[in-house]
């Protein structure tokens, strides 16, 4: 239910921030006809009563239907859309400041969920200029957003919970350029001075109430897409094969998430703040790429019966992922990276497990980078992934090689480094019980392990037998190469035998 409701929110924003591009003659009739055609190409059905007066066009009682799936529908109700030309040469499209959106879903058991969302735009201005091959769309509003009006279960308000949600964007400005040729190129820019989403959930059968607010400052986004004359919703794989690509970037200067909950045990509050952050993604026939970067993050937690707030902060967190999407002949690259640096815990958090300060409380960090080669037997479209509920990657293709380019962990006086490079025999699924047999080698280096074990033993967190067992395991797998420095090389040969520093383990 909640995943589908989030899709309602997404579609509710369409009319406000992406005015559904058309490559039309700049007449009111041409603009409306092409707008309808584009909507219908995207899977929408458009109904309305058209009334022309001179060059002006009014479309009354507009209903726009979208079938998310066979059991889910979204309906936009618009009292009237007016199109008219001014002396400045622009065609203006006038929309109501408030538009109601209805969401309907019926699951396999006949359970019905309905929601009503009110989409708002204050002082909106939407105008179009250009020529048939290149059109510029400009949209601005002093504020825009939506609010959840009603949520029903089987036609009545839920007896188990109630919910509220509201999104507001301030000083909205959008510029979109559509260039038509053998493909349609769309470039868009969106900026706001700030964004806020707030809401809450109340469980009626138990005394629990949750509220939240998320605020972003100087929110901006830009995107470029090159679309063949077939939509992703119509045929995902074919659109990619014919050259569809899209890149987008989303940034803000800072943000803060505040959450509070009233529970039987007392009030709980959580805040999460970040500095400059960005999210970049790209989709094309070569695959899907996404990268996120966050700086200066602080997490604060307040629990009942705890006098001081619990805090942790980190200077930087970044991650990236690239995966292929289409089944092609030959090898394709994939990879994943992550970095977390400058992680600090407040004294209150640290004292939970080390009240005597036996461990060094220095900033921790971790870096990880892995890449590999694969052959896909099946396209990795969203439908294919959703239909395969087990999500077994071996059902989609073969992993040919895997390389751990970098692994670096520094924390609690420890420094751990690792790397490795393996190839896989996908015809041998018996040696490692269902996993393609790997062949290759890896290295591992640990600095400060002996001192770490001593501190751990003094903390008396684990029984002494456990500490002794850990020391014996390290002695078996590793060899000393310096002052409290251990190192090892692991090898898996072509028969599946595993060696550590030349000693056979399997």
Q: What is the pLDDT of residues 311-336, one digit of tens each?
A: 999 999 999 999 998 888 789 999 99
Instruction: Reply yes or no on whether the pLDDT at 86 is more than 90.
Output: no
Largest Cα separation within the chain, whole Å, is 91
- Residue 277 is predicted with a pLDDT of 96
Q: What is the mean pLDDT of residues 397-426?
A: 94
Phi, psi angles (nearest 5°) of residue 438: -85, 155
400 domain-assigned: no
Going by pLDDT thresholds of 50, 70 and 90, the confidence category of residue 238 is: confident
- Nearest residue to 146 (alpha-carbon basis) of 104, 110, 102: 102
412 domain-assigned: no
Phi, psi angles (nearest 5°) of residue 465: -65, -35
Going by pLDDT thresholds of 50, 70 and 90, the confidence category of residue 444 is: very high
What's the CA gap between 332 and 374, in Å, rounded? Answer: 5
Burial classification of residue 115, based on how many CB atoms lie within 10 Å of its CB (0-12 exposed, 13-18 middle, 19 or more buried):
buried
63 domain-assigned: yes
Contact 110, 153 (CB under 8 A): no
Phi, psi angles (nearest 5°) of residue 86: -110, 170
- Residue 225 is predicted with a pLDDT of 86
The continuous run of DSSP H or E covering 449 comes out as: helix 449-459
Per-residue tokens: 404: 């751990």
What's the CA gap between 157 and 135, in Å, rounded? Answer: 45
Phi, psi angles (nearest 5°) of residue 406: -155, 135
The continuous run of DSSP H or E covering 149 comes out as: strand 134-153
Task: For 339-393, write each residue's pLDDT tens digit.
Answer: 999 999 888 888 888 888 888 989 999 999 999 999 988 877 656 555 555 556 6
- Residue 232 is predicted with a pLDDT of 62
Going by pLDDT thresholds of 50, 70 and 90, the confidence category of residue 38 is: low
Number of domains in the chain: 1
- Residue 17 is predicted with a pLDDT of 40
311 domain-assigned: no
What's the CA gap between 34 and 31, in Å, rounded? Answer: 5
Instruction: Tokens 């809450």: give the residue.
Output: 200
Q: Which of 67-71, 117-121, 169-173, 489-493 has the lowest mean pLDDT?
A: 67-71
Q: Which of 28-32, 283-287, 433-437 has the lowest mean pLDDT?
A: 28-32
Local structure of 483: helix, strand or coil: coil
Instruction: Tokens 């959580």: give the residue.
Output: 270
137 domain-assigned: yes
For 132, the domain range is 1-155
Instruction: Reply yes or no on whether the pLDDT at 231 is more than 50.
Output: yes
For residue 318, what are the contacts with CB-CB under 8 A and spacing of at least 6?
Answer: 291, 292, 293, 294, 337, 338, 339
Helix then strand count (H, E) for the chain reads: 8, 29
What's the CA gap between 193 and 139, in Å, rounded? Answer: 15
Average pLDDT, the chain: 86
What's the CA gap between 100 and 389, in Å, rounded? Answer: 35
Instruction: Reply yes or no on whether the pLDDT at 7 is more than 50.
Output: no
- Residue 272 is predicted with a pLDDT of 94
- Residue 142 is predicted with a pLDDT of 95
Q: Give the whole-number percent of the chain exceeding pLDDT 70.
A: 90
Residue bearing the bigger pLDDT, 306 or 81 = 81
122 domain-assigned: yes
- Residue 256 is predicted with a pLDDT of 96
Q: Which of 150-164, 411-425, 491-505 has the lowest mean pLDDT?
A: 150-164
- Nearest residue to 80 (alpha-carbon basis) of 56, 62, 63: 62
Q: Give the whole-number percent of the chain exceeding pLDDT 90.
A: 50
- Residue 484 is predicted with a pLDDT of 92
- Beta-strand relationship, 125-131 and 91-94: antiparallel
What's the CA gap between 479 and 445, in Å, rounded? Answer: 10
253 domain-assigned: no
Going by pLDDT thresholds of 50, 70 and 90, the confidence category of residue 486 is: very high
- Residue 463 is predicted with a pLDDT of 87
Q: What is the CA radius of gyration of the chain?
A: 28
For residue 314, what are the contacts with CB-CB under 8 A and spacing of at least 6?
Answer: 297, 340, 341, 342, 343, 344
Plot region of 185 (φ>0 → left; ψ -120 to 50 → alpha; else → beta)? beta
Confirm whether pTM is higher than 0.85.
Answer: no
* Half-sphere exposure at residue 24, Cβ-oriented, CA atoms within 13 angstroms: 20
Q: What is the mean pLDDT of residues 275-297?
A: 94
Local structure of 55: helix, strand or coil: coil
322 domain-assigned: no
CB atoms within 10 A of CB 19: 20
């Amino acid at each position: 239910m909640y995943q589908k409701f989030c899709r309602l929110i997404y579609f509710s924003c369409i009319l406000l921030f992406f005015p559904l591009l058309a490559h039309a003659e700049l007449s009111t009739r041409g603009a409306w006809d092409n707008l309808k055609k584009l909507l219908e190409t995207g899977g929408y059905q458009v109904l309305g009563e058209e009334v022309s007066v001179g060059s002006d066009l009014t479309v009354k009682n507009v209903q726009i239907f979208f079938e998310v799936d066979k059991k889910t529908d979204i309906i936009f109700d618009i009292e009237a859309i007016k199109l008219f030309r001014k002396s400045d040469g622009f065609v203006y499209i006038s929309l109501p400041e408030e538009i109601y959106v209805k969401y309907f879903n019926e699951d396999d058991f006949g359970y019905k969920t309905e929601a009503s969302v009110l989409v708002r735009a204050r002082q909106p201005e939407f105008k179009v200029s250009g020529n048939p091959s290149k059109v510029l769309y400009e949209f601005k509003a002093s504020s825009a957003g939506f609010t959840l009006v009603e949520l029903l279960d089987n036609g009545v308000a839920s007896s188990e919970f109630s919910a509220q949600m509201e999104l507001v964007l301030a000083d909205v400005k959008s510029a979109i350029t559509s260039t038509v040729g053998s493909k349609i190129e769309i470039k868009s820019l969106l900026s706001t001075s700030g964004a806020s989403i707030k809401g809450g959930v109340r469980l009626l059968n138990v005394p629990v109430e949750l509220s939240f607010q998320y605020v972003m400052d100087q929110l901006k986004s830009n995107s470029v897409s090159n679309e063949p004359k077939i939509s992703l919703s119509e045929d995902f794989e074919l659109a990619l094969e014919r050259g569809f690509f899209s890149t987008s970037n989303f940034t803000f200067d800072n943000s803060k998430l505040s959450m509070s909950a009233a529970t039987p045990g007392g009030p709980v509050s959580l805040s999460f703040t970040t500095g400059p952050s960005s999210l970049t993604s790209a989709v094309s026939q070569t695959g899907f790429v996404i990268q996120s970067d966050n700086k200066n993050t602080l997490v604060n937690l307040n629990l009942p019966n705890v006098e001081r707030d619990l805090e942790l902060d980190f200077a930087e967190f970044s991650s990236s992922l690239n995966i292929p999407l289409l089944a092609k002949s030959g090898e394709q690259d994939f990879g994943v990276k992550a970095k977390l640096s400058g992680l600090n815990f407040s004294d209150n958090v640290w004292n939970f497990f080390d009240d005597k300060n036996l461990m060094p409380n220095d900033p921790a960090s971790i870096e990880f980078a892995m890449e590999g080669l694969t052959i896909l037997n099946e396209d990795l479209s969203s439908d294919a992934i959703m239909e395969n509920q087990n999500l077994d990657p071996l059902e989609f293709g073969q992993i040919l090689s895997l390389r751990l380019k970098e692994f670096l962990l520094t924390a609690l006086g420890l420094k751990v480094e690792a790397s490795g490079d393996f190839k896989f025999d996908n015809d041998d699924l018996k040696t490692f019980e269902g996993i393609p047999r790997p062949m290759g080698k890896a290295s591992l280096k640990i600095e400060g392990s002996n001192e770490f074990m001593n501190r751990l033993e003094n903390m008396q967190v684990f029984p002494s037998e456990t500490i002794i067992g850990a020391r014996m395991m390290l002695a078996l797998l590793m060899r000393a190469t310096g002052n409290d420095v251990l190192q090892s090389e692991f090898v898996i040969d072509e028969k599946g035998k595993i060696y550590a520093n030349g000693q056979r383990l399997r």
